[in-house]
């Protein structure tokens, strides 16, 4: 064995580059696999949410943030609902940053979660300090003149309205900052897609 001691270690096939070849191959494989795992980790929950009819609510203007289940039934007064706002309203909300872009509505704006507050035949009173439906004031319903960026906000004219057939008024009653029917008025009843029930809130 002493006869081979003068031979450089590199020539014997035990050089450092040779020893790390296998781990390097594994590293490359792991790097190539990472995007696949990442895409699957995103796609599977998204697909699962769509198949199960689940939605994630991230704002608290009408409901606590959380996960909500879309229920295929006619909503009742006061229910939390998912709605696609009419194109002109949605485009205005998107341009001003009140609504997010996304899937779910034909105008490329995400549907909103609001309270199904006034139905055909109901009386809606819009005043500076409050909104009342059939004489009952809604909490946190004062109308703001400016948004959080300091821009002026248009609202419906002060006064009392009777909800017409085929129309509904949608409000967010958990936060005074909610952009809802006190600003853009009634929307077609067909705008409502489903009732929402909480699965998990925080």
Element (H, E) at 49: helix 21-52
**pLDDT over 70 (residue 16):** no
Gyration radius of the chain over CA positions: 28
Element (H, E) at 83: strand 80-83
How far apart are alpha carbons 169 and 140 in whole angstroms?
Answer: 16
How far apart are alpha carbons 103 and 73 in whole angstroms?
Answer: 22
- Average pLDDT value for the chain: 80
How far apart are alpha carbons 188 and 85 in whole angstroms?
Answer: 9
The position carrying tokens 């494989």 is 29
Model pTM score:
0.73
pLDDT level of residue 7 (50, 70, 90 thresholds): very low
pLDDT tens digits along 34-51: 555 555 454 444 444 444
Element (H, E) at 50: helix 21-52
Q: In the chain, what percentage of residues exceed pLDDT 90?
A: 53
The position carrying tokens 């490359």 is 28
pLDDT level of residue 9 (50, 70, 90 thresholds): very low
Range 118-142 average pLDDT: 96
């Amino acid at each position: 064995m002493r006869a081979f001691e003068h031979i450089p270690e590199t020539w014997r096939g035990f050089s450092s580059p040779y020893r790390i070849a296998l781990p390097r191959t594994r590293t490359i494989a792991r790097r190539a696999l990472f995007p696949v795992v990442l895409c699957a980790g995103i796609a599977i929950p998204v697909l699962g949410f769509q198949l199960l009819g689940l939605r994630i609510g991230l704002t608290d203007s009408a409901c606590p943030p959380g996960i909500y289940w879309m229920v295929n039934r006619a909503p009742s007064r006061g229910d939390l609902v998912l709605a696609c706002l009419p194109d002109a309203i949605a485009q205005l909300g998107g341009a001003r940053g009140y609504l997010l872009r996304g899937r779910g509505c034909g105008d490329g704006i995400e549907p909103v979660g609001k309270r199904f507050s006034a139905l055909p035949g109901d009386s809606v009173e819009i005043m500076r300090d409050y909104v009342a439906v059939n004489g009952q004031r809604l909490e946190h319903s004062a109308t703001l003149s400016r948004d959080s960026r300091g821009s002026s906000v248009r609202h419906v004219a002060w006064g009392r309205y009777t909800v017409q057939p085929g129309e509904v008024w949608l409000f967010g009653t958990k936060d005074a900052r909610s952009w809802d029917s006190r600003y853009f008025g009634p929307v077609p009843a067909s705008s409502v897609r489903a009732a929402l029930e909480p699965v998990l809130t925080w």
